[in-house]
Amino acid sequence: MPDIRLAHANILTAFHGWTVGTKVLDPTRLTDLICDAIVTYDFASQRIPGQGFLMLPDAAREMVSAGVGPRSNRADDYVTRFWRDHVGCYLRRKFAAAVDGVAAIIYTKDAYIADPDVQADAAEMLRITTPGPGCPTHVLVAVLAFAGPKPPLSPGRFVANLAGGNRESQVWSGDEIRAKAKDIIDYNSAWSVVAD
């Protein structure tokens, strides 16, 4: 088995005791599944080499809580949380939908340190590139526990990517951008992100 040293991105909160969105319930078993998936994944052939979207085996569904639930019209079903630099309104985790599938966003170390958001964060660059036994080969950027229709990017992430926050968005065509924007509107009218 290849030497895989997996670091968590500094933005990854799914492993925290409380979080917004997907929550990891069994960190050890899920990390083992992720490392197994990395071994067979072809990072070089991706649209942006080194950036991977890895679907995990069905067994991962019991190791996570979904990050979304059906949108509610009851104010009591929601909580406010400070997340990603602002206060937002989120569906209570008890209303999270059943998990249909789980994916991990994994970057190779080289792809991660080439990401514009990471390059703008000196502390994160230093943490990931410092030589030594803990120096990662791969970085876990996100864990996504799907429920309902395929989720698009969040509106904030979509705009941040268009503003230069991700290299892949630089190669999107105008038609791709418009299609992604419509998907985001449709999805967010039916589904809410959950929080603890």
* Residue 172 within any structural domain of the chain: no
Q: Give counts: helices (H), strands (E), the chain.
A: 6, 10
The 10s digit of each residue's pLDDT in 13-25 is 999 999 999 999 9
Contacts of 122 (CB under 8 A, 6+ apart): none
pLDDT score of 190 more than 90: yes
* Residue 143 within any structural domain of the chain: yes
The β-bridge relationship of strands 101-108 and 68-70 is: unpaired
Q: How many domains are contained in the chain?
A: 1
Contacts of 196 (CB under 8 A, 6+ apart): 17, 18, 19, 20, 23, 93
* Residue 69 within any structural domain of the chain: yes
* Residue 157 within any structural domain of the chain: no
pLDDT score of 1 more than 70: no
* Residue 93 within any structural domain of the chain: yes
* Residue 123 within any structural domain of the chain: yes
Per the structure, the complete domain to which residue 134 belongs is given by 6-151
* Residue 162 within any structural domain of the chain: no
* Residue 77 within any structural domain of the chain: yes
The 10s digit of each residue's pLDDT in 27-58 is 999 999 999 999 999 999 999 999 999 999 99
